[in-house]
Amino acid sequence: MSRRLSRREFVTTTAAGAAVTAAVPTVSKAAETPGPAIIVPTGVRPVVIASANGNFHKNGGSKTCVETAFSLMTGGTDVLEALIAGVNIVELDPEDTSVGYGGLPNADGVVQLDSCCMHGPKKRAGGVAAIEGVRTPSKVAHAVMEYTDHHLLVGRGAQEFARNFGFPIEADLNTERSRKAWLEWKRQTDPKHYLRPQDRQQGARLDNQQILRRMIADGMTPPRHYWGTINCNGVNPRGEIAGVTTTSGLAWKIPGRVGDSPILGAGLYVDGTVGAAGSTGRGEANLFNLSSYLVVETMRQGKHPKDACLEALRRIRANTVEKRLRKPNGDPNFNVTFYAVNAKGEYAAVSLYGESDDERGWAGQTDGRRVRYAVCTEGGAATLPCEALIPGALQDV
């Protein structure tokens, strides 16, 4: 019969994990610093793949998410714990307003966070949705996996679970930046009550897309942060596979809205014998198709990660039939990107569209509009352009 872990034991275990993290040497520049020399089983190439913000934000430190995760997992840390330590950097960095602390809030001005994780060798998973007050929902998702018989906890229950396990609960995860962006959104959606001085004589309400475009033009929020998330998947030197996805969700969402990120098979799916896949972009499109599961199942058939991602994107394209979600030419008017890796360490990142105006300013991109992803191998970390299903840019008609 299993013994229930006490809070003291949990904190001790967590502290030990933190000590391992602190002991890893720092790296100054991701793309210039090779990873550690490692011995791998025949045919396995250790790798970490993530969305582009995984090789940009450092939260004041010297390493990015993918650098941290790769260094830890090739140094002996459990593959999932290494990936979670990586995404924690982005969750805690207030400069990324799409994840964790300082994430763009819901329509009521409350930051609600979602996350899930899957451990290939253990064949276990955990997730939280609409959790408030915890900066690192990925760590709570991991605790759900390790210490409960459940896969998903939501809302108040998820928060109480986190409190019981010693996670600090904060009254408000907004930063000055995220609150300022929310107030601007309120002024434009509810001008009768939240006045913007230059619009005192204007009573017309704008729709969300019009408001978003105006806020982007005014520099209130980076365009990609409206949809942003971080997915991070990895294969360690022993061929063990895991993945984690974490997000603050759609900006200004209806309170309680949950997208694909914490849902197994949608925002993330891992099979320890096949590979892992996760996504960023329009969560509703991914949820409807359970696309990450489809990517992994397609890899199970022997397809390369690139071809598996393309198959899932074709499914999304075919199932997008509502006029409001289609451009005049019939293609989707949104973007979705998949990040996949198989058990050999082969990887790919593929988007519906390889270019988008929304990418300007995202994860350090100062010019151009390429949709990009992050990867770290023995050769170091890099940010690379994604492959695409549909030629051209999202904004092309």
Residue 86 to residue 92: CA distance in whole angstroms: 11
Q: Are 308 and 340 in contact (CB under 8 A)?
A: yes
The residues, any chain, with a CB within 8 Å of residue 370's CB and separated by 6 or more, are 354, 355, 359, 385, 386
Q: Are 117 and 138 in contact (CB under 8 A)?
A: yes
Residue 231 to residue 86: CA distance in whole angstroms: 10
* 239's tokens: 């061929």
Residue 71 to residue 236: CA distance in whole angstroms: 10
Q: Which residues pair with 14 in a beta bridge?
A: none
Sheet containing 347-355, strands listed edge to edge, beginning at the edge strand earlier in sequence = 268-271, 275-281, 336-342, 347-355, 387-393
* 303's tokens: 């397809």
Query: 136, 221, 229, 383: which is the annotated catalytic residue?
Result: 229
Q: Are 76 and 82 in contact (CB under 8 A)?
A: no
Q: Which residues pair with 241 in a beta bridge?
A: 235
Other beta carbons within 10 angstroms of residue 101's beta carbon come to 23
- Of 30, 29, 159, 52, nearest to 99 by C-alpha is 52
Where does the chain have alpha helices with state H? 7-22, 65-74, 79-92, 137-147, 155-164, 176-189, 208-217, 283-289, 291-300, 305-319
Amino acid letter, residue 209: Q
Task: Tell me whether residue 229 is one of the annotated catalytic residues.
Answer: yes
Other beta carbons within 10 angstroms of residue 35's beta carbon come to 20
* 17's tokens: 């994990």
Q: How many residues does the chain have?
A: 397
Q: How far is CA 190 from the centre of its chain?
A: 30
Cβ burial, residue 207 (10 Å; 0-12/13-18/19+): exposed
- Residues taking part in catalysis: 229
